[in-house]
Structure 1
């Protein structure tokens, strides 16, 4: 789930307001955004000095209304959503009785610093919705008041430091890049973007998120390569040996421009071990009030420019990190649920295997079967199960379970027919794979290498396959002509069998392009000394075309549907001749066929 639009607007507002020396212009940005998001017809925002307005901006206000509003003191502590108190506070916005009757809800919220100092007030009135301002609207305006207060309070410090202003302007240019990550569905990407903004804005070497759990501090996310610090994601250390626990306890300042001059930093071994020169850190608090850890940034050298503005920047970003951590926790909980659900499919009765005949297209003789997995009661089918297992890190476990079940089919498959077993490269590289095939009759096994992701290391894969092929097990490459089963892939692995992808088989009889590619693969397989098998043969026209092109074998519904081997008579010949000979009725109502024909449409098993 992406970061909300309102959160993005608050981040935009903060970055835009920080360093804005023209207070009237800053207030105009605030009230424009407040009225735009809440759809208020009018509103005003002002800063006060000595109980009187010092700067003001408005939307939709008359001079008379502004004159009445100007001397009105700030209403400190007005609770957002307390509509009666808010109505009393903003009475100046509704001078005429008729106008007052048209106002369904009015609201006043303070412009307040993080230290709870009231600087002014934001007023909104006249919602366009008959139901008034929603709670979401009011919470947004309250948050905007806090963001405006933080930014306006920081303005004098920024004005005193041109170098700091230039760095924040750089951060503004980077902000659009960061927001793209915040809009992504992946919370991990959003956190990476936030850390990049933190690191660039503060002009430090590294930004990171730590987690405090019990007496341990762990590094959860880091903005870039942190080898120079000796840190990496997942690294743990005692909490009392890191900065984070002291920072959240208030014993270590949020901003340490020179770690060598700070007593706590100076005595901690991590300062020397990681060569820490400067540090900025703020707590990360979850929406339910739990302390998660800290959002921090460090450098190897002291940085005299660091100050309160850098702390405020991290406070804003830590709230966004907190939102993403909530999403990650939700994803983790959902993952645990899905994990429990999918693991039930490996229990007895969850996984079964069927066999689909592989047939010589000229003779109709069955030369082998492909073992295919079936999962009881799963709505997404086998491909959906394997995809879900891969997402949960269980693909290899599921493939090994299917391989084991497929080997159990051998007694029901007549010798010398072979059984083709499916495995991905990752499964072939698993140390459990070799022992699983050790006792199988090698001359009756074909290993069908499936490709769903790119092969990470061909040298390791070739070594593992050589060990298997040395025993006499043959190698097949699945889905030739699509995906990762490219010609270079085939040349590298030099398989015994090449399987023509179903996308090339379908409609090959009526598509010259498909026929040309299939014909090329026939010649390619012949030059390699490999057998070519067409998958997905579903019509007699496809069968005839493929056979005429020189394809040796095929499989598909037209030649035989997947079924339990015990229900198939694999010794009989599949009829591959004239389709018209199927016209004579059988006694049981099935289409006519020669006596030794294996029907392609078997009764349901």
Structure 2
């Protein structure tokens, strides 16, 4: 039988197309794919119109009311030209209620995955013209259906395994927070710090991989909120006027779970960076959530501007407090007049929006000098500090003094 949650989505288009094609080819009234359980059968996909409205998607009937299991074990042939001539099936409730006069049916399944069902076409009237060669046609489409189901269940098995792994990560403290300072380019003073996630399990895969898998398995919100909650615990360790920046996708920001995490924190020192793993869609839920954040005096930042999905229209609509210039524009900016022109335009754009512009990925003194000359006021990158354990960065931010204008000692 199909060993999966019945609510899970199947590859509908492929199966529906296969059913319709074989039904029309054979001139049958109805075609269906059933899902077999030990004591019942469920119609999962239906093509055509059952005049008695008996065969409907999602309908569950007792297994002994239909011929599926009898065909699967070989008690009934795959082709029946006239059900009235077969004592074993003529009185089955399904044959009577669905008015089945003839049919061609082939089991579908794959032993390794353990699922089983039936690909069936039937007509209300007896059909002397259907023959053994029609089994080949139905079998071909049944194999196509089996292949689609196998791919679906293999993928679903992988997703379920990912969900278990991610649940363990969330529950077993396998996630920790590193901080990376955001500094003033004029004097190196740390103004804020971005919270970055680190994973103790399979660290070689990197945080981007983990969050991508969370998105694949519908656990994006749970993982991002967990990271934010952990990051917020380090806010009291930071200097009194320094901001903590946390990352969240638009989907997460619009969720009640995220809003619950925002309760009871010193919001006037918090910045939410909208990450761009996909196009930022200005949904009513997101725009309402951003309004709530502003009412709480929580700052809004847009990440990876210049290389991500956010265009200028999106930036204008979202009205961010901070615009983060992507590292692709920052890298070797001192030797590229085009990047310098773009950055100068972004400086003007940010000033017009009354937003701060932060240059990400600053790695050299030459980049620092060029950005400062162009009017960029804030920077983040290895040139100032590498990400490190939150407690270490928070302590160095507190201990900062004018005589030590950078944090290059952080490893």
Uncovered stretches (5+) of structure 2, i.e. residues with no partner: 1-9, 85-89
Q: 1:352 aligns with which of 144, 168, 176?
A: 176
Cα 1:484–1:281 shift into 2, 3 Å? farther
Question: How far apart in 2 are the matches of 1:242 and 1:500?
Answer: 66
SS at match of 1:447: strand
Q: Check conservation: 1:572, 1:597, Cα contact below 8 A.
A: no
- 1:202 paired residue number: 23
Cα 1:289–1:382 shift into 2, 3 Å? closer
2:196 maps to 1:372: yes
Q: 2:239 aligns with which of 410, 414, 420?
A: 414
- 2:61 paired residue number: 238
SS at match of 1:432: helix
Cα 1:375–1:253 shift into 2, 3 Å? closer
- 1:570 paired residue number: 397
Q: Check conservation: 2:34, 2:45, Cα contact below 8 A.
A: yes
Q: 1:312 aligns with which of 136, 145, 150?
A: 136
CA displacement at 1:434 relative to structure 2: 0.9
Cα 1:360–1:218 shift into 2, 3 Å? farther
After superposition, the C-alpha distances for 1:478-524 in whole angstroms (9 at most, x for unaligned) are 11122322223212211111111122211222222222222222222
- 1:438 paired residue number: 263
After superposition, the C-alpha distances for 1:194-251 in whole angstroms (9 at most, x for unaligned) are 6524422432798653211123334556789xxx99956xx35234598564774767
Question: How far apart in 2 are the matches of 1:279 and 1:551?
Answer: 75
SS at match of 2:388: coil
Counterparts in 2 of 1:206-605, with a 5 A limit?
Answer: 208-220=32-44, 235=58, 237-240=60-63, 245=68, 248=71, 254=79, 264-265=93-94, 267-268=96-97, 271=98, 281-287=105-111, 292-297=116-121, 307-308=130-131, 309-378=133-202, 379-455=204-280, 458-568=283-393, 569-571=396-398, 595-602=403-410, 604=411
Question: How far apart in 1 are the matches of 2:113 and 2:215?
Answer: 35
Cα 1:253–1:377 shift into 2, 3 Å? closer
| Larger relative contact order, structure 1 or 2 (CA cutoff 8 Å, min sep 6) | 2
Structure showing greater radius of gyration is 1
SS at match of 2:397: coil
Q: Check conservation: 2:247, 2:274, Cα contact below 8 A.
A: yes
After superposition, the C-alpha distances for 1:295-329 in whole angstroms (9 at most, x for unaligned) are 24579x98979733544311222234334544544
TM-score by length of 1: 0.56
Q: Check conservation: 2:34, 2:118, Cα contact below 8 A.
A: yes
Uncovered stretches (5+) of structure 1, i.e. residues with no partner: 1-187, 575-593
CA displacement at 1:444 relative to structure 2: 0.6
Question: How far apart in 2 are the matches of 1:391 and 1:565?
Answer: 28
Q: Check conservation: 1:258, 1:302, Cα contact below 8 A.
A: no
CA displacement at 1:363 relative to structure 2: 3.2
Question: How far apart in 1 are the matches of 2:113 and 2:324?
Answer: 58
Question: How far apart in 1 are the matches of 2:129 and 2:333?
Answer: 69
SS at match of 2:309: coil
SS at match of 1:380: helix
CA displacement at 1:595 relative to structure 2: 2.5
Q: Check conservation: 1:414, 1:570, Cα contact below 8 A.
A: yes
TM-score by length of 2: 0.79
CA displacement at 1:561 relative to structure 2: 1.6
